[in-house]
Amino acid sequence: VTPLGFEKSNPPVGARPGTLAIPPGSPPPEIHLVRWSEAELHVEQVADPARLAQAEAAPGFCWVDVRGLGDEAVLREIGRIFAIHPLALEDAVNVPQRAKSEAYPGHHLVVVRVPMREPGGEVRCPQVCLLVGARSLITFQERFFGFFEPVRERLRAGIGPIRRLGPDYLAYALVDALVDRYYPVVQSLSEEVEDLEEEVSADAEPDVLNRVHTLRRRLVTVRRVGWPQREAVGALLTDHSPFISDEVRTYLRDVADHIAQVMELVDSAHELALGLVELHLSMLSHRTNEVMKVLTIMASIFIPLSFVAGVYGMNFDHMPELHHPLGYTIALGLMACIAGGMLFFFRRRGWLGRPRRRPREGGPPPG
Amino acid sequence: VTPLGFEKSNPPVGARPGTLAIPPGSPPPEIHLVRWSEAELHVEQVADPARLAQAEAAPGFCWVDVRGLGDEAVLREIGRIFAIHPLALEDAVNVPQRAKSEAYPGHHLVVVRVPMREPGGEVRCPQVCLLVGARSLITFQERFFGFFEPVRERLRAGIGPIRRLGPDYLAYALVDALVDRYYPVVQSLSEEVEDLEEEVSADAEPDVLNRVHTLRRRLVTVRRVGWPQREAVGALLTDHSPFISDEVRTYLRDVADHIAQVMELVDSAHELALGLVELHLSMLSHRTNEVMKVLTIMASIFIPLSFVAGVYGMNFDHMPELHHPLGYTIALGLMACIAGGMLFFFRRRGWLGRPRRRPREGGPPPG
Amino acid sequence: VTPLGFEKSNPPVGARPGTLAIPPGSPPPEIHLVRWSEAELHVEQVADPARLAQAEAAPGFCWVDVRGLGDEAVLREIGRIFAIHPLALEDAVNVPQRAKSEAYPGHHLVVVRVPMREPGGEVRCPQVCLLVGARSLITFQERFFGFFEPVRERLRAGIGPIRRLGPDYLAYALVDALVDRYYPVVQSLSEEVEDLEEEVSADAEPDVLNRVHTLRRRLVTVRRVGWPQREAVGALLTDHSPFISDEVRTYLRDVADHIAQVMELVDSAHELALGLVELHLSMLSHRTNEVMKVLTIMASIFIPLSFVAGVYGMNFDHMPELHHPLGYTIALGLMACIAGGMLFFFRRRGWLGRPRRRPREGGPPPG
Amino acid sequence: VTPLGFEKSNPPVGARPGTLAIPPGSPPPEIHLVRWSEAELHVEQVADPARLAQAEAAPGFCWVDVRGLGDEAVLREIGRIFAIHPLALEDAVNVPQRAKSEAYPGHHLVVVRVPMREPGGEVRCPQVCLLVGARSLITFQERFFGFFEPVRERLRAGIGPIRRLGPDYLAYALVDALVDRYYPVVQSLSEEVEDLEEEVSADAEPDVLNRVHTLRRRLVTVRRVGWPQREAVGALLTDHSPFISDEVRTYLRDVADHIAQVMELVDSAHELALGLVELHLSMLSHRTNEVMKVLTIMASIFIPLSFVAGVYGMNFDHMPELHHPLGYTIALGLMACIAGGMLFFFRRRGWLGRPRRRPREGGPPPG
Amino acid sequence: VTPLGFEKSNPPVGARPGTLAIPPGSPPPEIHLVRWSEAELHVEQVADPARLAQAEAAPGFCWVDVRGLGDEAVLREIGRIFAIHPLALEDAVNVPQRAKSEAYPGHHLVVVRVPMREPGGEVRCPQVCLLVGARSLITFQERFFGFFEPVRERLRAGIGPIRRLGPDYLAYALVDALVDRYYPVVQSLSEEVEDLEEEVSADAEPDVLNRVHTLRRRLVTVRRVGWPQREAVGALLTDHSPFISDEVRTYLRDVADHIAQVMELVDSAHELALGLVELHLSMLSHRTNEVMKVLTIMASIFIPLSFVAGVYGMNFDHMPELHHPLGYTIALGLMACIAGGMLFFFRRRGWLGRPRRRPREGGPPPG
């Protein structure tokens, strides 16, 4: 995997604009066409792109959903039929782009990056591109992800204003569904922050910090992808594209709100993850401190005792204590005194148990 | 509890806009209706929402206070009677939303998040939604919190311009009362910062940092909820909604000021909480340093003494000192000299008591 | 004292706007009236507020300086005479407010917070409120602080344009005098930063970091009060209040400059205080390192020696060295060799004195 | 090499504007002229600058590519022929400048800084300057870098709108090719961040942090050069220069997008590099902790044992245990008990192996 | 020296605006007058300020360079002759001010702060003030610094447009010369960052961090002075002062660019200095770790050996090993085994030399 989700699209440096770089591994395009008016709705899978020209010319609205980018000829043909600007087509195909909202003659381009957790926990952000026209909406996905199914269902069932309001409302509904995909990802990352909080508080193993670092990296990824997304939705709201009616704009405020909410959660999670690093370092210092205390207590008690024993192990001819009948008893008593004194000293310093801690009467959190 | 106060409202991802997701556990709505003009005031509890249609049609102003969101049919009926935009109704019901101020045809929507300390100290931020119309004000609360009682009392007593100025002034008074709820929460959090400052200065137990971290998380929560609140109040002030008169706008500046003041306090508290982490780590290092010093002093004094004792405990045949009549006395004297020398060395280094600290003449804090 | 200089004014939560909350301990108002025109000047202390109605009606300019906020009836009477908006009067009386500059019909309100060092070094920021009218200036102080005396003197002496230009110039002169009060406070805090820099460099007692933390808290306080002040002065400059002439606006740029300069100094001091924390932690680590080195040197030299002594203290029947005539001498020589070897090892590592440090020829700071 | 890629151009302080400072080591200029119209294209290398005057006067477009800045007379001659403003010529010649986009009468100046990795890994950012005129484009490079070759090829082949749209499109294509050069540099730096992540996780050698610091410095360099670049491209997009058509402006959005994407990656990499410092310090603390544990365990077990041995090595006349037939066995047993007790104590604390770690059932990363 | 280069000018708090506070130690003013037109140029030193009135009245341009601010009467006389606004004169004389660009009737005021390294390395920022009029330029310097000499030389020689374009171009040239003075200061500070980088990498003496802190303080000073400078030059560019022609404005963009470039370098240097603190702390931790390892190795090897020696030094009657003929040899062998085991253990942990480090094949920095 490329570092940091490194995301330069493939066209070689200096390639002319409009060069299409088929993403490696992308399946050949499957084209799903929906034609609808307020009264009726036709769904079909199109094998030959030429069929789209008819749909484009027919009255009513149409939605062309292109799943897979694996055939340049088909993509170019679609671009020709709907008169897509070469740069817009490039943005749609050369994944991943930065999230954006850009006006082109004939279309308004919206690029959405959708975060997903991969099996190993990594965050991947595939791209979906929407081209909103006057009577048509064209969407490009790298492969089929199922992001659009709930909206497709609503369109089929004709609930709400979705059939009446045309491609811009449909585009809103799709962007809304895509942006909602940020929630489960951010929620799972937030839950990991919480889990790590508990683990860091409980122990101080070195791998915990490794995992905090990994989590931070994922949060950085979501932030890097999400901020341009927030800007792009904001631009969509304020740009006054001719392809987006005021009525739909009201709905778009809702999407702007969602992405803002998500990004605030990401920022909070990021800040708490930073706090975890400090918490971990502090736990480590406490542990080192504990280890040192054990050593100090053991050594401070037994080194003086050994010294006393050493003194009476000396072989001088003239050591009167050695010959005293109570000498041994007195020596042992002296040693007990020394050990007791050291223990008293350490207890007063609060190194044995912790009698120094003051009792707390009131519960700390005030109502 | 969801992590980070995670706050995605319930509608499933991709749901159509306007879907109402009744918050689990919310009681069925209790509707309190106040109808008033400058001269008179009627208060009643409404059982049947159809009663509201009459109130809506009658002259004078009315305030519909909906407490509890537990019945979708009732909420939809209220929405129908007052012609509330589906998205506005969704924002009112699908709690919690981000704080916001948004214009809709027929109403101006204000969402306020009100922080509260829970018994365990956690910060919870229930939502209150206000819909300001030309002649009516509708408020939605998740459940009855008593936030509105002082204002309800003023309305009943008719003190000040509250009856004369209509729903926009009433909305101002309610928003003001809600924003004032930030003060006790921020004050209690600030007091906890102060308490922790004292504790961190006094001792360096590991759980102190855990508590600092918890406090930081709560401050992050208030900040995350409060910043959009500040923006929303600012937007209310500058948006020139047709439902808010210039006279009321003057009053709203006061609310904007309060929320600004609160957020500055939260930022200060957050910054000081960051400083506490460093203070704690420094206390820890000092303690480790103290422990090390005790060990070093004990070991440095007694290890050389034990060595001397060890030397004269050797069993060589030919050790003339052993047979000298004063050998033992001299050996003990030598040991005393070594111990004294080490003590002198440590005292000069300032490790025993602290004679190295220079006397300070002037008091540090200048007037 | 309330934490963080917590500053919610007294009106209970949900109180109606315009409620006056007399600050506890504020003395009863003493009213000083100055009436002047370019030619003449009358100064008097007014006992009965009704006297002010005359002054208000008379030609020429007047300055009403209200010292003390301890009597609500008098304050309300002043408000009535000069037709002060209830919210403006509330801002003037319910101290402390955030610094602000707000237009009201009939007056322009300016709230200034003035930092002072208290005897213990704490920073307190009492509030002064100015209401600039067309022909009158009203100032409210919590109690008499003497902030206005130099300006009062200039007004009396009639030096410069102070009599000619009316209440707006007088207001400028007063705001200038108040903002200048930031300088000595910021200067004393900066001096404390410098003092602590020296102390942190010299030793690493735990209380130094406590003092750095206290200083940081004071700087945070000044910053929290000063930033809104900077905004308020900027707003006064750009708001184009009808009560402030262009000529006076030129002078206000100077005040804006002063407060900007002060805030930049506060930011610098804050940043340096952050650096002190790191410097302190580094000093601590050095000290622990030193302690460790002493221990390591002592233990590494004497533990092997004791081992040698221990070997020859064993009681095996067959230990030929013990019976060698030079055994003892050789054993002592061996010990001396070991000790010398260890000393050589430590000296080469630079742990005794520091021979490893490379000589520096050139002075580090280039001209 | 100058510190921080210090980049003051050569004219002495106080020199008059327009002074040309030939960069030391820059080769004498080689001038490559391309004249083209939609139909045809002439490429030639020009020895005598006077030849350019003809090209300037002829119909059609021309591109003058100046490679090398080593001859002031030639540069001045080019400036004279194309009526380049003295300050524009100074910006072109006195490398390196900050990236910028500036309007001059007759030309629009664009300065692009192109990052490159040098053999040792250092980041160098040579400058390319473009002067877009109505019918001509003049480019200045410090020396020949080959940045322009792909575009030159496209121009020769006449693919796309490159011949039709004139010098502004050509300038766009060149700027695009130059900005694309940021990608490999940022990619290689990101890869180094990833490599260092692995190394820091695996071990804690001191040189790792040195390398993190070096990497950070390089990222700081790219950021310092890249931010003005981002601004300059943005200014080019919004400045409405008369020399840049709306059609080309559409293409420039693409370049703005690329540089924005690159800078976001640099910021992410920088943030992760900061995290590495903390990870490294934590690894170090863990290692110190491990070392301490070994010492503590060894000392805590053997020091009490030695003490017991010391006691029975004393030479008192009256020590009954010494004469007990099982004395020695019991003493050894006592020692074994002490050692076992200490081992049990350390095992319960989790210092031997780590039995304290709780088993984790669920995989941490949720899908 | 005042802390943080504390910079309140002298007028006492509350002084009336326009009060001149002669900076202590400033020499009496020396006035250098240059009168010029495109054709001719007169230079003279003026003893009597009244002479300036003639110059002011004469046709052509004039530049009055006031060196030294030590005589209030002379300064007031100059102010009177050229009709300088009292606040402008105050800004010129009461050094140091914040850098600024302000319009006054009759003049445009520009204050420039010029950083200099003092012999001890401290950064001092004296002020130069320029008053650009329609036909005159007046400059005030605290004392003669020689900043203007190169421009004075160009004016004398009449090279370029300097004589033709009048006082605004001359002002540009002077500001440019002053802003260029930032380069050597920032360059020397950057070089110190580089030097300290090397030192920190090489050793971890406590004074290194002291020097990093000092350097940081100097960078903070330059930043605090430089940011307002950048704003002031930007304001000069965009303010559309009537005294500055569009032609000169083109030149001023160059100055804005220089100061922007300088400030970016200062920011980079500051960020790297922050990194040095972490590098230093990490070096320190490594050293402590090394010290600990030596202690642990020595103690872990010799403490068990001493224990064995202690056991066989016990005086039990019944210790069969003592009487075995090979007892001593076996005991020594046992000790050798223990020592070897410990050494093997430490070697495997990589604490002796470092066999654990994995070999690295590829060079880390990719091209």
Contact D330, D324 (CB under 8 A): yes
Residues of D with CB below 8 A from A16's CB?
154, 159-160, 162, 173
Structure tokens at A251: 């709905």
Which of E258, E296, E298 best probes binding to D when mutated, by most D CB atoms within 10 angstroms? E296
Contact A313 D315 (CB under 8 A): yes
Contact A102 D253 (CB under 8 A): yes
| Residue B129: strand, helix, or coil | strand
Interatomic CA distance for residues C179 and E278, integer angstroms: 39
ipTM: 0.79
Residues of B with CB below 8 A from C321's CB?
316
D-E contacts (CB, under 8 Å) = 194
Whether the pLDDT of residue E115 is over 80: the answer is yes
Confidence category of residue C363, pLDDT binned at 50, 70, 90: very low
Contact E42, E34 (CB under 8 A): yes
Of C284, C321, C323, which has the smallest distance from its Cβ to B286's Cβ? Answer: C284
Interatomic CA distance for residues A248 and B87, integer angstroms: 11
* Closest-CA distance of chain D to residue E201, Å: 7
Q: For position E313, what pLDDT does the model report?
A: 87
Residues of E with CB below 8 A from C277's CB?
none
**Between A355 and A272, the higher pLDDT residue:** A272
* Closest-CA distance of chain A to residue B3, Å: 6
Strands E100-104 and E61-67: unpaired
What's the average model confidence in pLDDT over A305-321? 87
Which residues, listed in sequence order, are joined to residue E116 by a DSSP beta bridge? E124
Q: Which residue of B has its CA nearest to A157?
A: B16
Torsion sign over Cα B231, B232, B237, B241 = positive
What's the average model confidence in pLDDT over D83-98? 90
Confidence category of residue A318, pLDDT binned at 50, 70, 90: confident
Class of residue A2 by CB neighbours under 10 A (exposed 0-12, middle 13-18, buried 19+)? exposed
Contact E314 D331 (CB under 8 A): yes
Quick: pLDDT tens for C170-228.
999 999 999 999 999 998 999 899 888 888 877 767 778 888 888 998 999 899 999 99
Percent of chain B with pLDDT over 90: 40
Confidence category of residue D95, pLDDT binned at 50, 70, 90: confident
Confidence category of residue B365, pLDDT binned at 50, 70, 90: very low
Interatomic CA distance for residues A219 and A192, integer angstroms: 11
Q: Which of B47, B48, B44 is nearest to B33 (CA)?
A: B44
Confidence category of residue D355, pLDDT binned at 50, 70, 90: very low
What's the average model confidence in pLDDT over D266-276? 90
Residue type, D22: I
Which residues, listed in sequence order, are joined to residue B35 by a DSSP beta bridge? B42, B62
* Closest-CA distance of chain B to residue A309, Å: 9
Residues of E with CB below 8 A from C276's CB?
213
Quick: pLDDT tens for A183-214.
999 989 999 998 888 888 777 677 788 888 88
Distance of CA A197 to the CA centre of its chain: 17
Q: Which of D36, D179, D25 is nearest to D112 (CA)?
A: D179
Per-residue b or e along D127-137, where b marks 16 or more CB atoms closer than 10 Å to that residue's CB? bbbbbbbeebb
* Closest-CA distance of chain D to residue A85, Å: 10
Concatenating the DSSP letter of every residue in E9-29 gives -SSPTTPPTT---PPTTPPPP
- Cβ neighbors of C119 (< 8 A, separation 6 or more) are B367
Which of A125, A188, A192, A288 best probes binding to D when mutated, by most D CB atoms within 10 angstroms? A288
- Phi–psi pair at D44, nearest 5 degrees: -155, 155
* Closest-CA distance of chain D to residue E73, Å: 33
What's the average model confidence in pLDDT over B217-235? 91
Confidence category of residue B46, pLDDT binned at 50, 70, 90: very high
Quick: pLDDT tens for B67-87.
999 899 999 999 999 999 988
- Cβ neighbors of E20 (< 8 A, separation 6 or more) are E11, E72, E75, E76, E89, E90, E93, E94
Whether the pLDDT of residue A65 is over 90: the answer is yes
What's the average model confidence in pLDDT over B336-348? 91
Whether the pLDDT of residue C359 is over 50: the answer is no
Residues of B with CB below 8 A from C87's CB?
250-251, 253-254
Quick: pLDDT tens for C72-103.
999 999 999 999 998 899 989 988 888 999 99
Contact B365 C298 (CB under 8 A): no
Q: Which of A216, A235, A217, A214 is nearest to A98 (CA)?
A: A235
Contact D117 E351 (CB under 8 A): no
Q: To which residue do tokens 């002093």 refer?
A: B297
Class of residue A294 by CB neighbours under 10 A (exposed 0-12, middle 13-18, buried 19+)? buried
| Residue B294: strand, helix, or coil | helix
Contact A180 B284 (CB under 8 A): no
Give the single-character DSSP code of D255.
H
Which of E174, E307, E312 best probes binding to D when mutated, by most D CB atoms within 10 angstroms? E307
Q: Which residue of B has its CA nearest to C217?
A: B272
Concatenating the DSSP letter of every residue in D299-330 gives HHHHHHHHHHHHHTT---S--HHHHSTTHHHH
Interatomic CA distance for residues D94 and D88, integer angstroms: 10
Q: Which of E301, C283, E144 is nearest to B285 (CA)?
A: C283
Quick: pLDDT tens for D145-193.
889 998 999 999 888 889 999 999 999 999 999 999 999 999 899 999 9
Residues of B with CB below 8 A from C188's CB?
366
Residues of D with CB below 8 A from E257's CB?
97-98, 100
What's the average model confidence in pLDDT over A289-307? 90
Structure tokens at C106: 């009939």
Interatomic CA distance for residues A361 and D319, integer angstroms: 55
Per-residue b or e along C132-151, where b marks 16 or more CB atoms closer than 10 Å to that residue's CB? bbeebbbbbbbeeeebbebb
Interatomic CA distance for residues A35 and A23, integer angstroms: 29
Strands C61-67 and C41-46: unpaired
